[in-house]
Amino acid sequence: MVMMAGMDDHERKVVLEFCHLLEKSKQLFNGLRDLPQYGHKQWQGYFGRTFDVYTKLWKFQQQHRTILDTKYGLKRWQIGEIASKIGQLYYHYYLRTSETSYLHEAYSFYAAIRGRAYYSRAAKEDRSDLMVKKLRYYARFIVVCLLLNRMKLVRELVQELDAQIADYTSTYEPDDQLEWNLVLDEIKAFVKAESAVGVLHSDSNPIVLTHRLGPQTCPPVERSPPMCLSLQEILIVGNCADQVKFSELSMDMFRMLQTLEREPRDDPNHLHDASPAGRMPFRPGPYPGPENGAPRRDNPHKYLLYRPTYSQVQVFLASGFKELPANGALLLYLSADGCFSTVKHPEEMGYDLGGVSTCSKRDPEHGKRPAGGKEPHCLYPGDLYPFTRKPLFVVVDSDNSFVFQQIPRYFGQPLMVLMSPQDVPPTLRDLRHGGSLFTLFLHAPLAAFCLICNVGSLPVQHWERCQRYIERFLNEASQLVTRSRCETSVLQFFGDDFLRLLLVRYVFCDVVLNLHRSFRGRQQRPRCHPPLPDAEVLEHPTLHHLVLDLAACLDARDHFPESNELA
């Protein structure tokens, strides 16, 4: 309760208006969790109203800071809490729109909180809930910095969070002490695993690389009439029990999220740095989805699901399917442990061969699994049949991935499935907690190549020299695919930059693992459906020579056979 005694009319009006805006902002912010996470139209207006109120609140506290300080007793941690919620708004808007400019806006507000030490006196308030807010702010800031590849700052924030957790636990001896220590351990493991290979300056300091789609990333292609599709909707699903994760993101999900995003454009409305006087949030304009009459061109819309139930996967798939514009394609990425069949005599190929486990939960209505029955939270290939009514591109990274090559094209629409190797050599199995090798190939091909050749670090000049071999390989693979007698489905997807990049990086992965001495047997190579031509693409001598030249450049030629062995 704010005491109104000793205030004149103007001061009283200012305090009442601030309290009204503060309460309204909290109500709208809390209402965000009740919005459906799928679809576009349902949440756009609500987010707009929430931004409007926070814009007024932020501007109001700037204009009337003296009165609010002296008459209301406004504390710096309260300003920090407002800024933190604005950062959260931008972060969630980024998750719903895939526009990285909003990720930068979230960063600006989180960085301002740290730079102006808004939470510096939270511990002196003798309130454990304020310390928890401060810890949550740190965790959210670290997620944003990870997504923006600001790894130097991430390491600084981790050290600060470690100290803050120690202070919190020693002061209050809270019940959630173990939970926060677990969060800290997850962050440290994630940061350690994030860089599969170290790229170093001349002074041995690490360089942070970006793996988002840029002007030089994707190989060019000579357009042809079949290349008519554009990737518009993406569902990224993760559930690998032994894989490092942080904040509902497994390492595979994190890498695929960045792989399927473009570098942010230069935007006059996008302000990277917070001014000393504080920044006023802007309300994002209408989300350029199909309902606004134009397809999205910057980044496809993405949904992220960590260990979802089967029902959640179906709902989000159906939503993405519904939102597809004409000539739009839907991509489903699955990084999950295999769900293996116990059927002795399979008859229905869509269900009797197993699938991938989306989560370990059990819905109460399922009860116990009947003898010989199907696993309720296994996503089977047959579950995807209804979604082949529109162009569907599937990437499956699992030890049971090959069962997805059985998906038929009942509706005659373009369909493409990329499947990871189902096994890796014993020497690489201990590395799985740091992310899958197949997804790493799709995300950062040179890093994956270094990993299987035991190259732990290299100077930046050497990295760039090797990267040119990768670029030549991808350009050559792109030309070979367009000239080959591959199925029309492949070419229909090939006109989209993201899908073309995934396909040519898949070719690189297949060629490399086929040549590498440690990978033996068909289970340790990837597959795709429909298959790419062997003679015209996967076995082409030019691609093989480029791989061997890259190995020689890395002084890793002994991992591959001699040229006369390839003849």
Per-residue pLDDT tens digits for 109-129: 999 999 999 998 877 777 889
Q: What is the pLDDT averaged over residues 297-320?
A: 91
Q: Is residue 272 situated within a structural domain? A: no
Enter the tokens of residue 74: 């406004």
Q: Other C-beta atoms within 10 Å of 116: how many? A: 16
Q: From residue 236, give the alpha-carbon distance in Å to each of 251, 320, 363.
A: 12, 12, 22
Q: Which residue has the higher pLDDT, 85 or 373?
A: 85
Distance CA 438, CA 352 (A): 25
> Where residue 211 falls among pLDDT bands split at 50, 70, 90?
confident
Q: Which DSSP helix (H) or strand (E) runs through 397?
A: strand 392-397
Domain co-membership, 169 together with 234: no
Look at residue 275 in the predicted model and tell me its pLDDT.
35
The answer on pLDDT for 286 being more than 70 is: no
Count of domains observed in the chain: 2
The answer on pLDDT for 271 being more than 50 is: no
Distance CA 291, CA 289 (A): 5
Could you report how far apart the first and last alpha carbons of the chain are, in Å? 84
Domain co-membership, 173 together with 108: yes
Nearest to 309 by CA among 244, 241, 239: 239
Domain co-membership, 134 together with 257: no
Q: Is residue 277 situated within a structural domain? A: no
> Which region among 301-305, 313-317, 365-369, 388-392 has the lowest average model confidence (pLDDT)?
365-369
Q: Which residue has the higher pLDDT, 172 or 256?
A: 256
Q: What is the pLDDT averaged over residues 531-535?
A: 94
Look at residue 259 in the predicted model and tell me its pLDDT.
94
Q: Single out the residue in 137, 172, 197 at which a domain terminates.
A: 197
Distance CA 445, CA 112 (A): 36
Distance CA 161, CA 167 (A): 10
Range list of β-strands (E), 430-524: 457-459
> Which region among 290-299, 347-356, 489-498, 558-567 has the lowest average model confidence (pLDDT)?
290-299
SS3 call for 297: coil
Q: Is residue 558 situated within a structural domain? A: yes
Look at residue 282 in the predicted model and tell me its pLDDT.
55
Domain co-membership, 153 together with 242: no
> Where residue 343 falls among pLDDT bands split at 50, 70, 90?
confident
Look at residue 360 in the predicted model and tell me its pLDDT.
67
Q: What is the pLDDT averaged over residues 429-452?
A: 94
Q: What is the pLDDT averaged over residues 409-437?
A: 93
The answer on pLDDT for 28 being more than 60 is: yes
Q: Is residue 220 situated within a structural domain? A: no
Q: Is residue 375 situated within a structural domain? A: yes
Predicted TM-score of the model (pTM): 0.91
Domain co-membership, 99 together with 192: yes
Q: Is residue 491 situated within a structural domain? A: yes
Domain co-membership, 192 together with 78: yes
Domain co-membership, 158 together with 258: no
> Where residue 269 falls among pLDDT bands split at 50, 70, 90?
very low
Look at residue 564 in the predicted model and tell me its pLDDT.
61
> Which region among 203-212, 317-326, 410-419, 434-443 has the lowest average model confidence (pLDDT)?
203-212
Across 457-482, b (16+ Cβ under 10 Å) vs e yields ebeeebbeebbebbebbbbbbbbbbb
> Where residue 297 falls among pLDDT bands split at 50, 70, 90?
very low
Q: Is residue 334 situated within a structural domain? A: yes
The answer on pLDDT for 389 being more than 60 is: yes
Look at residue 210 in the predicted model and tell me its pLDDT.
81
Tell me which residue range forms the domain holding 111: 9-197
Look at residue 242 in the predicted model and tell me its pLDDT.
87
What's the DSSP call for residue 525? Answer: S
Look at residue 174 in the predicted model and tell me its pLDDT.
87
> Which region among 53-57, 343-347, 501-505 has the lowest average model confidence (pLDDT)?
343-347
> Where residue 145 falls among pLDDT bands split at 50, 70, 90?
very high
Domain co-membership, 249 together with 372: yes
Q: Is residue 222 situated within a structural domain? A: no
Name the residue with tokens 């002296």.
70
